[in-house]
Amino acid sequence: MALDEERQALVIIDQTKLPGRMELLSLTETEEIHRAIRLLQVRGAPAIGVAAAIGIYLAARKAGNGGDFYERFMDAKEYLASARPTAVNLFWALDRMAAVVTAHRELPPAEITALLRVEALAIRDEDIAMCRAIGEYGLSLIKDGDGILTHCNAGHLATVRYGTALAPIHLGHERGMGFRVYTDETRPLLQGARLSAFELVSHGVDTTVICDNMASQVMKNGWIDAVFVGADRIAANGDVCNKIGTSGVAILAKHYGIPFYVCAPSSTIDMKIAGGGDIPIEERGAGEVTEMWYREPVAPAGVRVYNPAFDITDHELVGAIITERGIIRPPLADGLRQVMGD
């Protein structure tokens, strides 16, 4: 993901086309960026935040030099924030960009816009550094040859580079370590089968795709030494909101005595939310469950469908939260308070 300065565009890989086609999209309009986030052309909590930061910078450039610059900026911010409700990185990045505008309100719009460019690029670069640090901490918890199970895609594609849950694997692989990675296909949008498998296989990592309902069996077989997942929002008590199906994996891991680790940058921790029950969970269209990916619908027309995109893993099931600031062990509420300085 990058800012194309020449074309003044946000450049992303269209993740809806993977693994079949690697297509780059060059987005210049705020509506296009909103749509790309809503349709999951760009997805994964950190990636959404970076896309929104670059998107609001581009919107500010378009807002021009008029007296209504502040209002136009805030309208664009609100609009981009409405693209998806769960991943807090979206709001975190937009709030960070808005803080620049508010702090320099007396400056001419062109100067504020220049500062917004610097901030958007800082958010992008910091994401790489945070993911690398998460990778280092995560790597300290596993050893060469380990079997790792992951859910959804929290890798390169979900961030600017490295990923969160896949960062330890990518870093270890770069250093010549070998892991056996099992990736849940991740129904209904198949981020595991399409995206995690794509990026792991392209990097030469030993990868096995399993259907979501096979996780118990691979754990029972003794093939899994640790579970690594990402997060879309972590509440102050350590409850973790992540891709639908994550909480089931955590319950299974507890049953089989396998450590369950959550990897996320501090920008995913929302200390304003006391517990997971207060996190807004996105519900998506029925077609994702009944017909997307299939030649013919797999359920009768008009049947009621429940399609929550995320679930909450109770903090008691989480062995550690791995952030760029260190590894937080239970009691998670105390650790999160210390790390976040609240």
Q: Are strands 24-27 and 9-13 parallel, antiparallel or unpaired?
A: antiparallel
Structure tokens at 117: 């460019």
Among 34, 43, 96, 124, binds ligand MRU (CB under 6 A): 43
CB of 46 to ligand MRU, least distance (A): 5
* Nearest CB to ligand MRU, comparing residues 163 and 168: 163
> Is 262:239 a contact under the CB 8 Å cutoff?
no
- For residues 58 and 30, the answer to whether their CB atoms sit within 8 Å is yes
Shortest distance in whole angstroms from residue 220 CB to ligand MRU: 24
Bridge partner residues of 235 (DSSP)? 270
Residue 41 in the binding site for ligand MRU (CB under 6 A): no
CB atoms within 10 A of CB 22: 11
The answer to the question of residue 149 lying near ligand MRU (CB under 6 A) is: no
Query: Omega before 300 cis (within 30°)?
Result: no
Looking at beta carbons only, is 109 or 168 nearer to ligand MRU? 168
127, 232, 270, 311: the catalytic one is 232
Residue 241 pairs in a beta bridge with 233, 312
Residue 232 designated active-site: yes
CB of 250 vs ligand MRU, minimal distance in Å: 13
Using N-to-C axis directions, what is the helix angle for 45-63 and 109-139, rounded to 10°? Answer: 170
Residue 305's φ and ψ, nearest 5 degrees, are: -130, 135
User: Which residues in 169-208 contact ligand MRU (CB under 6 A)?
Assistant: 191
Q: Which residues contact 220 (CB under 8 A, 6 or more apart)?
A: 256
The least CB distance from residue 183 to ligand MRU, in Å, is: 12
Q: Of residues 85, 135, 172, 230, which one binds ligand MRU by CB under 6 A? A: 230
Quick check: bond before 188 cis, omega within 30? Answer: yes
87 binds ligand MRU (CB under 6 A): yes
Indicate which single residue of 63, 154, 181, 328 sits in contact with ligand MRU (rule: CB under 6 A).
154
* Contacts (CB under 6 A) with ligand MRU, residues 281-340: 309
Give catalytic residue positions: 232
By CB under 6 A, name the binding residues for ligand MRU: 40, 43-46, 87, 152, 154, 158-159, 163-164, 191, 230-232, 242-243, 309
